[in-house]
Homo-oligomer: A and B are copies of this chain.
Amino acid sequence: MSFSLTVLGSSSAVPTTKRFPTAQVLNVHERFFLIDCGEGTQIQLRRFSVNMSRINHIFISHLHGDHVFGLYGLFSSYNLLGRKSDLHIYAYRDLEFTLDHFKKQFGINMSYSIIFHPFTADQPYEIYSDRRMTVQTLPLRHSVPVVGFIFREKPKLLNIKKDKIIQFKLGIKEIRSIKEGNDLVRPDGTFVPNNELTLPPVKPRSYAFCTDTSCFPSLVESLKDIDLLYFEATFIHDDRKLARITSHSTSVQAATLAKKAGVGKLLMGHFSNRYKNLKQLLAEATEIFPMSFAAEDGDTYTIPEVHDDQLRQ
């Protein structure tokens, strides 16, 4: 089952000819979750062949223009294309003013409903849950209220060994019970411990999105063992004073965090347009944490399914 991230925009506040403002789309089992929506997001969705109609949930990290100015265009195009299904928006509560303005001035006779799920940025909240996954906020630190988002697959059931189904002629109820971790116990005295009947489940995958924030110690614990971490690296190490002043982070800070948290991969983005290329920024990060990457618009990062027993090998 798919679990992959496509970068739609990787620039910081001012876009360039090669980098659009922040937006990403996470494909979880062919359900598409849009994360931030900078200007031109609908254009990038088309450019990178993402099926717009499969996006039902949009998560907005904070209310700076380079993370939200694509909403109006996306809303309008959905309307022109005759969208029917509800569109859910998760954002800091003040986005309500923007949504209200859109509805009043541009959203007359809309073909679908925009449903707003406001949150505050004071503590972590679980803001979304379906049968496969959850989304939690992670309060970050910037000039305005901002959160990261942690997408996690829910723990999966144990895999039953096929030969055991035949050997014990297991019924449907028994199979369900065993997959949930129970032993096989029958009135006739049969007893087989669960670990003889099952294989470990597929490991739940996780993705964390953190941008427009300074780097602070408690993030290590919050981001422990995340499979793929997107963390902003607006600046190179030489410009760390600028990072401090503007409440942003550097390549070195992002990589140090990734290393301490033991994440699988670090994907950096939100690059300042002052750098002609990202060689130095990437070199600084990989020296600390080799599995560091610099986002490019259009990149897709896939997190493969891994069985716990594979991990142990």
**Which of A98-106, A130-138, A285-293 sits within the interface?**
A98-106
12 residue pairs of the A-B complex, CB under 8 angstroms, read A13-B77, A14-B81, A15-B77, A17-B46, A21-B73, A39-B39, A39-B69, A40-B40, A63-B105, A66-B73, A98-B105, A101-B101
Q: Does A20 contact B (CB under 8 A)?
A: yes
Q: How far is the CA of A68 from the CA of B60 in the complex (A)?
A: 22
> A64: which B residues are within 8 A, CB to CB?
106
Within the complex, the shortest CB–CB distance from A127 to chain B, in Å, comes to 21
Docked complex: A44-79 residues within 8 A CB-CB of B: 46-47, 63-66, 69-70, 72-73, 76-77
Q: Does A43 contact B (CB under 8 A)?
A: yes
In the complex where A46-B17, A97-B105 touch, is A69 in contact with B65 (Cβ < 8 A)? Answer: no
Instruction: Name the residue on B nearest A108 (C-beta).
Output: B144
Q: Mark A13-31, 1 if CB is under 8 A from B, else 0.
A: 1111100110000000000
> A47: which B residues are within 8 A, CB to CB?
17
Within the complex, the shortest CB–CB distance from A109 to chain B, in Å, comes to 11
Chain A positions within 8 Å of B, measured between CB atoms, are 13-17, 20-21, 39-40, 42-43, 46-47, 63-66, 69-70, 72-73, 76-77, 80-81, 94, 97-98, 101, 104-106
> A80: which B residues are within 8 A, CB to CB?
13-14
Q: How far is the CA of A190 from the CA of B227 in the complex (A)?
A: 94
Pick the most buried of A21, A40, A47: most chain B CB atoms within 10 A of its CB.
A40
Instruction: Name the residue on B nearest A105 (C-beta).
Output: B97
Name the contact of A70 in the complex, choosing from B16, B39, B46 (C-beta under 8 A). B39
Instruction: Name the residue on B nearest A49 (C-beta).
Output: B17
> A69: which B residues are within 8 A, CB to CB?
39, 69, 72-73, 76
In the complex where A46-B17, A80-B14 touch, is A39 in contact with B97 (Cβ < 8 A)? Answer: no
Given contacts A14-B77, A16-B46, A39-B69, 17 further A-B contacts (CB under 8 A): A13-B77, A15-B42, A15-B73, A15-B77, A17-B43, A17-B46, A21-B73, A40-B40, A63-B105, A65-B72, A65-B106, A66-B76, A69-B69, A69-B76, A94-B105, A97-B104, A98-B101
> A39: which B residues are within 8 A, CB to CB?
39-40, 42-43, 69-70, 72-73
Q: How far is the CA of A43 from the CA of B16 in the complex (A)?
A: 7
Q: How far is the CA of A73 from the CA of B40 in the complex (A)?
A: 10
> A17: which B residues are within 8 A, CB to CB?
43, 46-47
Q: How far is the CA of A98 from the CA of B100 in the complex (A)?
A: 11
